[in-house]
Amino acid sequence: MHTIQSYMTPLQNALRNPSALMNQTQSQANQAASQASKAVENPDALMTRLRNFDSGALASVGVIAAEVLGFFTVGEMIGRFKIIGYRSEQGPHH
């Protein structure tokens, strides 16, 4: 029960004061944009950071990417009701 409350408290606070949530979101977006522009201006630093990733982090990224692709693929299969191809409204042509 304590775990649920620890997740719900920040959500309740955000719903009570949505302007603070918007300000926080805006500041994080600005920070991400400034980091992206710095990476574009200095690609050598970006390449250095990519080369310095340890194998554990790369394995973690690979596993997460595989999970996302798997969930997307299963969702597509469920949505289409087929494993291969799209459903067609037309009958077979003879």
Q: What is the DSSP letter of 17?
A: -
Domain map of the chain by residue range? 1-52, 54-94
pTM for the predicted model, two decimal places: 0.43
* Distance, CA of 70 to chain centre: 14
pLDDT at 77 over 80: yes
Separation between Cα atoms, residue 70 and residue 61, nearest integer Å = 14
CA distances, 63 to each of 56, 59, 72, 94 (Å): 11, 6, 14, 47
Q: Are 80 and 88 in contact (CB under 8 A)?
A: no
pLDDT in tens, 45-60: 878 888 888 889 889 9
